[in-house]
Structure 1
Amino acid sequence: MKKLESREDIELLVNSFYQKVIKDETIGFFFNDIAKVNWDKHLPKMYSFWESILFGQMTYKGNPMAVHFPINEMEAMEMKHFEKWIELWKKTIEENFVGENADTAIYKAENIARLMAYKMEMARKPG
């Protein structure tokens, strides 16, 4: 096991994670069928997103929350979906990395998932 400490490590983490996601019965359809993700564009954005979060490299440009609202309108993104996302993220980290940045990646992802789940639920409530 190695420490999570470079852009290359983030690329390994993100690629390994999404290999699990696209095969997953609970959340894969969001990526494959609803968002129809262009992986050539999505993966580099995710590398930059996590590089910014973990290493303070401000390479990410975008609003991750805003991108999810249209998907949530097509198909409700519920807590169970975010819980599965976290489960797969943690599993991927634990299979590949140890150390403070690995722990931070889990902690930050849990916070992001909770906030996103809350915002998606609020967006579905009438009025």
Structure 2
Amino acid sequence: MATQDISSLGDIKLLVNTFYAKVQDDDLIGPIFNQKMLGRWPEHLEKMYRFWQTILLEEHTYSGSPFPPHKQLPIDQAHFDRWMEIFTSTVDFLFVGKLAEEAKVRAANMAYMFNYKIEYFRNAEKQ
């Protein structure tokens, strides 16, 4: 059972590495990630460390726009639901506390917004 909160870059790395190991093995979202990240997993993980370090620890190491790489992916609500299920269970398994809860809220907000934007762009392209 988790006994501590997210408090360091080491914790962020543990969260990101554990989460993406599960993602890579997942039947629904694993193939999409593995195809997109082919040969670039280390680079992606480093980017995710910086992203979550900036959001949760307020150590500004990430710059960029997270949405554009996701815009053309063949994903829908079911993929985001699975992503959130894996993320939430990973956080809950590893950590407990204010920042752990913040991570889940931020992830849920991001999943909602990404799905909304992807649907918006798909519908705009059909017109």
Alignment TM-score, normalising by the size of structure 1: 0.92
1:36 aligns with 2:38: yes
Give the gaps of 5 or more residues in structure 2.
none
Q: Aligned pair 1:3/2:1, yes or no?
A: no
Which sections of structure 1, spanning at least 5 residues, go unmatched? none
Q: Which residue of 1 aligns with 2:106?
A: 108
Q: Give the Cα separation in 2 of the matches to 1:40 and 1:31.
A: 13
Cα 1:37–1:66 change in 2 (3 A) is farther
Distance across 2 between alignment mates of 1:64 and 1:37: 20
Deviation at 1:56, TM superposition (A): 1.5
> Quick one: which amino acid aligns to residue 110 of structure 1?
A
String of CA shifts for 1:35-60, please: whole Å, max 9, x gaps.
43611100010000001111211100
What fraction of aligned residue pairs are identical, expressed as a percent? 39
Q: For residue 63 of structure 1, report the CA deviation from its aligned partner.
A: 1.0
**So what's the TM-score if we normalise by structure 2?**
0.92
Structure 1 segments, 4+ long, off by >4 Å, are none
Counterparts in 2 of 1:1-127, with a 5 A limit? 1-36=3-38, 38-70=40-72, 72=73, 75=74, 77-125=75-123, 126-127=126-127
In structure 1, distance between residues paired with 2:107 and 2:80: 10
